[in-house]
Amino acid sequence: MRTGLLPWLLLLFALDPAEAPARESVRLDPDQILQAASRWTVAIHVDREPERPSLPRRRGRSLFGTPRILQEYKSRPSGPVTGLLIDGAGHVLTTYYNVSGTLKSVEVTLPGWERRPAKLLATDRSDDLALIKLESIPDGLEVPPLRWGDRDDLRVGQFVVVVGRAPDPEHPTATMGIVSALGRNGGRVFQTDAELNYGNVGGPIVALDGSFVGLASFVGHTYPWGLNSGIGFGTMAETILSVLPQLRQGENVPAPRRAFLGVGPAEQGIMAGEGVRLGEVSPGSAAELGGLKAGDVVLSIGIETISDFVELRRAINRRQPGDEVEIEVLRGSERVQLKVRLGSRPE
């Protein structure tokens, strides 16, 4: 367990509920969280063909001036990474990046320290997900039921714990943080300030009630922020459940065609629960073509009431390009009903 985690958790659990209304109503103690999550958490050993450096190097620097130490900092390590054992059939979730490249072999070290060969079934690159499967199931393999968290229970400021199995597969690691933001990557990912790195990426992100709310993902290769920077991401449990049936069938999930409205929120908001004021309407976008204007307050999309910009994005993401939606806005003191045909999110 990371130094300093236990005192923070003990302090958290000692608080009076009235002083922290945003916390989960059911809370486990630190040992319970770690013990439960570590039974799902496995180490993955990947042997792949050597990767060429992204930039040529010269005298300790790349030809474009990037110090070698920074390139090595962002390079994929040769040691084990982390995965999440989700059932007794030997299915293991991890990140796409953990198992990408030209693979020679994949092995999994189970919580009972038994090492078994595995194979890659399918990937979802857009959500940084991969599903692998043990080639043989150990006798008596028991996997505690995974309690999948609900999107509606995920809140900014909520405490979470990330569990990993590297660099030493026999001893789990734990890192604590909060949910920093929702609605990332088209609403399929949330942001956390828990320190994520190549050791715990692919591991479970667990709420303090013991529920699995996301998979530690997008570390070191997609976003410009470095490891352990406090800017990390978790692929939401709801996102995983939406693609898991396809991954189990051995089918890669293609990059989705996502619906796009083309608006941004105003810097000056309105009272909570009263809609979203638009600060920007992109020229030529579905929003502009449908009659939306900067300054409009979006009240509803279809039958869904909109109270913040995250809800607006979710409502759009649940639809397909080309869908026609009814949007109610408040324009001045007048309520206006608009019909908007959604476009496609730019690449």
Instruction: Quote the domain boundaries for residue 243.
Output: 1-50+66-256
Name every residue whose Cβ is closer than 8 Å to that of residue 38 and which is 6 or more positions away in sequence: 111, 163, 172
216, 84: one domain: yes
Where is the domain boundary, 236, 256, 276?
256
pLDDT value, residue 57: 45
- Interval 254-298: pLDDT, tens: 876 778 899 988 876 555 557 899 999 999 999 999 999 999 999
Q: How confident is the model at residue 85 (pLDDT cuts 50, 70, 90)?
A: very high
pLDDT value, residue 273: 59
- Interval 93-137: pLDDT, tens: 999 988 888 888 999 999 877 899 999 999 998 899 999 999 998
Domains of the chain: total: 2
pLDDT value, residue 271: 56
157, 284: one domain: no
pLDDT value, residue 256: 65
238, 306: one domain: no
Q: How confident is the model at residue 10 (pLDDT cuts 50, 70, 90)?
A: very low
Question: Does a structural domain hold residue 61?
Answer: no
170, 251: one domain: yes
Contact in structure between 279 and 269 (CB atoms under 8 Å): no
88, 228: one domain: yes
| CB atoms inside a 10 Å sphere around CB 274 | 14
Which CATH number goes with the domain that contains 273? 2.30.42.10
| CB atoms inside a 10 Å sphere around CB 312 | 24
Task: Mark residue 318 as left, alpha or beta (left: phi above 0; alpha: psi -120 to 50; beta: remaining).
Answer: alpha
Evaluated on CA atoms 102, 107, 110, 116, the torsion sign reads: positive
Six-digit token string for 202: 């692919």
Evaluated on CA atoms 291, 295, 296, 299, the torsion sign reads: positive
Kindly report the average pLDDT of the chain as a whole number. Answer: 81
Percentage of the chain surpassing pLDDT 90? 42
pLDDT value, residue 216: 95
Question: Does a structural domain hold residue 241?
Answer: yes
What gap in Å lies between CA 235 and CA 242, rounded to an integer? 11
CA dihedral 175, 101, 94, 183 (to 10 degrees): 80
Where is pLDDT greater, at 296 or 152? 296
Q: Is 5 exposed, middle or buried (0-12, 13-18, 19+ CB in 10 A)?
A: middle
Task: Find, among 216, 261, 222, the residue nearest to 234 by Cα.
Answer: 216
First to last CA, the chain: 40
What gap in Å lies between CA 165 and CA 174, rounded to an integer? 9
Where is the domain boundary, 237, 256, 275?
256
| CB atoms inside a 10 Å sphere around CB 192 | 26
pLDDT at 46 over 50: yes
Question: Does a structural domain hold residue 58?
Answer: no
Q: How far is CA 189 from the centre of its chain?
A: 4
170, 283: one domain: no
Question: Does a structural domain hold residue 55?
Answer: no
Question: Does a structural domain hold residue 283?
Answer: yes
233, 299: one domain: no
- Interval 189-231: pLDDT, tens: 999 999 998 889 999 999 988 889 999 998 865 544 557 777 8
- Interval 13-30: pLDDT, tens: 443 434 444 444 567 776
pLDDT value, residue 220: 61
Six-digit token string for 15: 């608080």
- Interval 47-68: pLDDT, tens: 888 765 544 444 444 444 445 5
What gap in Å lies between CA 183 and CA 171, rounded to an integer? 33
Long-range contacts of 120-124 (CB under 8 A, 24+ apart): 121/91, 121/247, 121/248, 121/250, 122/246, 122/247, 122/248, 122/249, 122/250, 122/251, 122/252, 122/253, 123/96, 123/99, 123/247, 123/252, 123/253, 124/96, 124/243, 124/247, 124/252, 124/253
Where is the domain boundary, 256, 279, 294?
256
249, 278: one domain: no
pLDDT at 72 over 60: no
